[in-house]
Structure 1
């Protein structure tokens, strides 16, 4: 684990959040946070832990077809360590998938490419689940008499995200991605074999075998309709649990917001900021979308719930404290233990 980079990234995240609070009004935001009801915050933490457990259950379910995959303590420690790396390291949103796959492979007898396929599939299910939950929130908010103008952006994001997800599924099912990847790997190996004294030049088919294994694992996951249905269900429920801490954070501040509203705001705040960060991770190296998520979430709450900027910012900060920062602390403790004792100690 690159601890210096993680500490530097977290320090930058704290600075970004501090600037947000300062811009809104330090005294107002701090006063709202201090006045928050402890019982509601405790409920937010419990709901957040439920989300973390469901996300792990999703990956564990998708690991079923992988021979020698991490199980038991090995899986839990590898997943939490990977979650910490994904959340703490700068550019973690773009590099978190291979890091978690590497840790899952290190704690088991399975190959890296198999775990990479599983984690990538899990990320896909999480994105799809966020769109479904946000769509349900939009429908519930409108049925309850909410303003269409307030959720117009949400409708656009859900619709656009649904079209993108459908396009990805079509491409994957037709095998186009596999053909392109294998053709690219073949060309790369042809070039590498011409390099003198290269270790890879003596390993014919190394890259092709890895990519082929990646797609074979994806095909094994797709072949089981039960696995797909269960994984989709877990992803959707996990996003409901992801939204509940925001609901409890608002209750802690004395705001009785509709549940449908938080089902819109929580997923969209993460999708709106995390997707761009994954694409432009080299430009914005803030871990876990810190700073950006708080700004987007507070803006959505002001637009939809009609609360003041101070209350919205306080709710966004409490939401992140009971989810992101709590999970970061748990994953960090596990990562420290794994770094100190080694992955072999936790193998089944």
Structure 2
């Protein structure tokens, strides 16, 4: 892992959050945070840890068709170390995916490309699960009538736009008739280009074989309806537990908001994670606080405090746990095996 890059990114992330809190009002926000009820915060932390466990269970389930996949303690340490990379690196959802796949492959007898397909599929399930939960929350919110029509329509527009993006991603990534053909074409060109260079060993077939394994694993996952149903259920359940820390965090501040509203705000706030900072820091806090102000009429300082508590009991708690595991793995070492040892 690029430790300097990760540390620099975290420093910037904390600075951005600090600027946001300063803009709202340091004294007011910190006063709310200090006055938060400990029992409610404990409930938020437990729910957040449950979400982390379910995210791991999702990857473990998708690993089922892979021969020699990591299991038991080996899987737990590799997954948490990869989750730490996902949390610590900028654009962690993209940069953390290959790191987690590498760690799962390194500590097992499975191939890198198989684990990469599994982790990518898990990210896809999590994205779809977030949109499904947001849709459920919007439907309940609209039926109960706790929000204005404009709020519901605006939330539907955001969720609908995210749904279109998700559908496009699924068509590109999982449709083997398009993605596989394009990937094979690019890999073949790379192999030809490298083979034409003097004094370099031929890599003919190596990239294309890796790509074949990647799409083969996706096909194996798609072929099992039971795996798809269970994985989808785990993804939605993990997002329910991801939303509960926000609900309990607001209760800790003395703010009682409809649970349906929390089911909408938590998933939609995740789109703030597109900012190139670890864990989407700054973007998620701003989006979440803005949603709470716009939909529930929560005062800006209270909404900001709620967003901070939510992130402390989810992102930062996960960061601390996975970081501790990553440090232990780094100190005590793991079974050495690099992708190049497997033929790449």
Pair in the same fold by TM > 0.5: yes
Shift of 1:169: 3.7
Q: What is residue 132 of structure 2 aligned with on the other side?
A: 132
Q: After the TM superposition, which of the residue ranges 161-170 and 29-38 deviates more from structure 2?
A: 161-170
Q: What is residue 301 of structure 1 aligned with on the other side?
A: 292
Q: In 2, Cα distance between the equivalents of 1:175 and 1:219?
A: 12
The aligned length equals: 334
Q: What is residue 192 of structure 1 aligned with on the other side?
A: 194
Q: Is the 8 A contact 1:93 1:287 kept in 2?
A: no
Q: In 1, Cα distance between the equivalents of 2:171 and 2:292?
A: 35
Shift of 1:184: 1.2
How much is the aligned-residue C-alpha RMSD, in angstroms? Answer: 1.3
> Secondary structure at the residue paired with 2:335?
helix
Q: What is residue 207 of structure 1 aligned with on the other side?
A: 207
Q: 1:177-326, aligned counterparts within 5 Å?
A: 177-199=179-201, 201=202, 203-270=203-270, 272-274=271-273, 276-277=274-275, 284=276, 286-326=277-317
Shift of 1:344: 2.3
Q: 1:16-95, aligned counterparts within 5 Å?
A: 16-95=16-95
Provide Cα deviations, 1:229-249, integer angstroms capped at 9, x if missing partner.
000000000000000000000
Aligned match for 1:335, one of 306, 311, 326: 326
Q: Is the 8 A contact 1:44 1:245 kept in 2?
A: yes
Shift of 1:164: 3.1
Q: After the TM superposition, which of the residue ranges 86-95 and 109-118 deviates more from structure 2?
A: 86-95
Q: TM-score, normalised by structure 1?
A: 0.93
Shift of 1:110: 0.6
Shift of 1:174: 5.4
Shift of 1:175: 2.1
Q: In 1, Cα distance between the equivalents of 2:317 and 2:51?
A: 12
Q: In 1, Cα distance between the equivalents of 2:30 and 2:46?
A: 23
Q: After the TM superposition, which of the residue ranges 307-316 and 154-163 deviates more from structure 2?
A: 154-163
Q: 5+ residue gaps in structure 1?
A: 278-283
Q: In 2, Cα distance between the equivalents of 1:273 and 1:259?
A: 21
Q: Is the 8 A contact 2:113 2:211 kept in 1?
A: yes
Q: In 1, Cα distance between the equivalents of 2:98 and 2:237?
A: 25
Shift of 1:7: 1.9
Q: Is the 8 A contact 2:91 2:280 kept in 1?
A: no
Q: Alpha carbons of 1:117 and 1:241: their partners in 2 closer, same or farther (altered >3 Å)? A: same
Provide Cα deviations, 1:83-130, integer angstroms capped at 9, x if missing partner.
001101223232111011011111111110000000000000000000
Q: Is the 8 A contact 1:51 1:239 kept in 2?
A: yes
Shift of 1:3: 2.4
Q: In 2, Cα distance between the equivalents of 1:90 and 1:98?
A: 14
Q: After the TM superposition, which of the residue ranges 140-149 and 224-233 deviates more from structure 2?
A: 140-149
Runs of 4+ in 1 over 6 A off after TM superposition: none
